[in-house]
Structure 1
Amino acid sequence: MPTLSLKSILAFGALAGASAVANIQSRQDSLQQYRTQIKELNKYIADGIKCYTEFVPQVKASNPPKRTVLKSIEKCNILYDNGAIKLRDAHRTAQARNFQSDKLHEMGLANVLDARLEHQGEYTRKLQEALQELHDRSKEAVDAFDAGTNSTIRVALELKKVAEEQRIDVSKAKIERKSSADGGPLIEVAGVLVAGVAVFGAITYGPFIEATTAAAEGIEALDTAIETATSHVSATQNAVTTDLNSVTIGQLNQARQALEEVSIHVEAAHDNVDALHAVLAEVPEAEADEANVVVHVKAAELNTAIGQYNNLRAALMQIRQTVVQSITPITDI
C-alpha cells in the first residue's frame, strides 16, 4: 500500500488549515456585513418614523396645505424605501450557507429571518416593533397627504370655474415673437377659436411680451425636464420588469431626483404663467383679446405638462410599491 511522505502530510495539513481559516474569515465577514446592514436599517427606520410623524401636523397646519409641505413627504418615502432595500440586503446575507445566525443574539442583533411573533428574542422583537411603527406612521402620513392634496385640487378647481366655462379652443394655437416694421418686439397670435370666432392679431405691449417670453421659456424648460425624468422612470420600470431584485437605491434615487427637477420647473413655470396673467390687466384694450388668448394657451400648455408630471409620479409610486412589496418583511405588517 502506498504511503504519504512526511512532506505530503504536512502540505495536506497546511492546505486544510488554510481552508478552515478562510471559512472562519468568510463567516466573520458575513457577520460584519450583516451588522452594518442592520445598523443602516435601524437608522433609516428611526429617521423615517421621525419624518412621517413631523409631516402630519405640518400638513394640517393650513387648509389647503402649502405645496412645499405636501412635497416634503418624498423625503420620508426615500427613508422608507432605503430601509426596505436594506432589509432585503440583510435577508440575503442571513440566507447565505455559512451565515452564523446563532451568533446574532450575543452580538445584540435582530434575526431578520425570524418571523415569529412570540419567543423571537428581544432584538428581533424591537426591530419588528420599529418596522410596525414605521408602517403605521407612513400610513398616517399618506392619509394626511391624500386629504391635503384633495383639498388643494378642490380649491384650485373652484377658483378656475369661470375660466373653464369660456369656450376657447387652443389646440391649433400659434404664438410667435417677432419684430415689427420699426424693429420693436411683438407677439403674433393665430389659430385660436373663441366661442367659434377665429382670433388673430398682434400684441405690442412690452411688459406683456416679456412676461409671455418668460412663460414660454419656463414651459420649454419644464418639457425638457419631463423628457429626462421619463427616461429615468422608464429605465427603472424596465429593471423592475426584467430583474426586480437588481433594483438599487441608486436607481430609485435617480428617478426621484429627475422628478424633483421636474417639480422645480413646474413651480417656476406656474409662477411665470401667474405673472403673465397678472400683466393681462395692463394690456391696452385694443390688444386685450389676443392677450387673453396667449394667457389661455400658456395655461393649457402648463396643464398638459403638469398632467405628464403627475403620470410620472404615479408610475414611480407604482415602482416603489412593487419593489417594497417584493421584499419579504421580518414580519407581515
Structure 2
Amino acid sequence: MGYKVVVVGATGNVGREMLNILAEREFPIDEIAVLASRRSLGSEVSFGDRTLKTKDLDTFDFTGWDIALFAVGSEATKKYAPLAAGQGCVVIDNSSLYRMDPDVPLVVPEVNADAVMGYSKKNIIANPNCSTAQLVVALKPLHDRATIKRVVVSTYQSVSGAGKEGMDELWDQTKSIYNPTDDKPPTKFTKQIAFNVIPHIDVFMEDGQTKEEWKMVVETKKILDKNIKLTATCVRVPVFVGHSEAVNIEFEEHLDEDEARDILREAPGIMVVDKREDGGYVSPIECVGDFATYISRIRQDPTIDNGLNLWCVSDNLRKGAALNAVQIAEVLGQKCLKKG
C-alpha cells in the first residue's frame, strides 16, 4: 500500500531530481503522474527503471491524488497549487510563493518536522530556499545546546540554483573563453559567471540587501527561532552543483569547538569531515549526489565571546530542493496521511 503522487514540473532540474530521490528512497507509491507545461508535453522522464511520459498540467485533475510535489516557478504555482489543494491533494511547494504565509508551514524535517501538522489550513507545505535549508540543518543542533544569538553567513551558490539556463550559461561562457570568436555575453546573470563571482542573487531591495539574502533571514526565523539575528551576503559562483556557506555563529553560552564537532556528528542529516590537514574538508564537487549536509572547518572565533566558525556544503538540487520535499512527504505520510 502506498500513495498516489504527482510531480509537477517533472522535466526541470528539480523535478527530475525529485523523481530520482523518490525512487532511491523507495517512497511508497501506488501510482505516479508527471506533469509539465504544454511546451514540454509528451517529454519522457525517468523514474527508477521506468520511463514516464509527461501529462498536461493545465488539464490535470488532482482529485483522488494524495501528494503533489511542485517544482515550478511562483507564477505557475500561484495558479495550480490552490487548484490541487482544493481538490484534496496536499501540495509540497518548492517555490518561494507560500514560504512566509502564516497559514503554510515552512519545513525542514531535521529541524521542525512537527510543523507539518499545520498543513491542513491550506493543504500546502512550503519548501525553504536552497541556501536556508542546509544552513538551518547545521544550526539546529548547536542552537539546542547553546542558543544562537547571531549568525553572519556568506554563501557561494552554484549556477544550478538559477535553473538550466544558469548551467547552460556557465558552460557556454567557459567554452567561449578559449574561443575568442564565440562571444557569450551574460543573459541569465547580470555579469559574466565563467571565471568570476557575482555578489547578487535575486532582485535588490530598498535596504540594499538582495531578496535571496532577505529570504535567508526571514526563513531561518520562521523555521528555527524568531529571535536569531542573521545577516547574509549571497554570491553566485562558477560551480555547476553544490552550495557552500561560510558561517559565523555567536551563542548565548560558551560552546567548545570539540563539543560542537561531537554534537554535529550525532545530528540528523549531517556528515562532519573536519581534519586540519590538506584536503581535510568537503568542497561542493564532493557533495554532488549525496543526501547529507557536510560540515567542515569547525573552529572558535576568538574575536567575540562564544563564537564559532564553520564551513557548510550541500547538493542544492537535493537537500536544497528535491530531497527536502521528499523528506516532507515522508513525514506527512508518517504523521498525517493514510496509505491507499
Confirm or deny a common fold (TM above 0.5).
no
Taking structure 1 as the reference length, what is the TM-score of the superposition? 0.26
**Structure of higher CA gyration radius:** 1
Taking structure 2 as the reference length, what is the TM-score of the superposition? 0.26
Q: Relative to total residues, which structure has the larger helix share, 1 or 2? A: 1
